[in-house]
Amino acid sequence: MKVCLDYGHGGRDPGACYGDRREADDVLAIGKIVAKHLRAKGVVVQETRKDDSFVSLASRCHIANKANYDYFISFHRNAYSPEIASGAEVYVHTSGSPKARQLASRLQDCLVDFGYRDRGVKKANFYVLRGTRAPALLVEIGFIDNSVDNWRFDRHMEEMARRLAEEIVGTDPQQF
Ligand SMILES: [Zn+2]
């Protein structure tokens, strides 16, 4: 199994910010733990960035399309208006395959198990979903401008990462 993990933003693009908190840091932190668990299960993992560096959306797609990955999974945190919105959601492309939608609902269920409000699996025409060949997902792990979602993120990051990795591997037909 081969997976391409995409940690949103980075470098001169911090993503959504709330106080000192930057989306780019949060998604790098949890994403790298997901990668570690996937590799421990024998999955080949490509990452679109490994540190706090800027990578364009086009470059992310280029990296994702260099090999035949089973999934492309992009990690983000949401933002709206301070302390107003909350919850997790997973996006697939408007033309998303059943394979993408199946894993999306499993990852969404996993996040909801950790207490995030269920905003559901949604469709969108985001650049990285449109521009990547593998079944593609974009995961929004709570709102960075919501203190309770941030508490949840910090408290459960390690365990969430492990569970997300299990769900990703669990959908690999070769595992059965
Ligand atoms: Zn983002």
Write out the CATH class of domain 2-170: alpha beta
Question: Using an 8 Å Cβ cutoff, are 150 and 144 in contact?
Answer: yes
Q: Given the residues 140, 159, 166, 167, select the one marked as catalytic.
A: 140
Q: Where are the domains of the chain?
A: 2-170
| Biggest distance spanned by C-alpha atoms of the chain | 45
Per-residue pLDDT tens, the chain, 176 aa: give them.
999 999 999 999 999 999 999 999 999 999 999 999 999 999 999 999 999 999 999 999 999 999 999 999 999 999 999 999 999 999 999 999 999 999 999 999 999 999 999 999 999 999 999 999 999 999 999 999 999 999 999 999 999 999 999 999 997 655 54
Q: How far is CA 161 from CA 6, 30, 40, 133, 173, in A?
A: 14, 6, 13, 24, 21
Active site residue 140: yes
Instruction: Identify which of 115, 75, 84 has the alpha carbon closest to the alpha carbon of residue 18.
Output: 84
Q: From ligand 1's centre to the CA of 38, what distance in Å?
A: 22
Instruction: Identify which of 145, 92, 140 has the alpha carbon closest to the alpha carbon of residue 116.
Output: 140
Q: From ligand 1's centre to the CA of 9, what distance in Å?
A: 6
Q: For residue 172, what pLDDT is reported?
A: 64
Is the overall model pTM greater than 0.85, yes or no?
yes
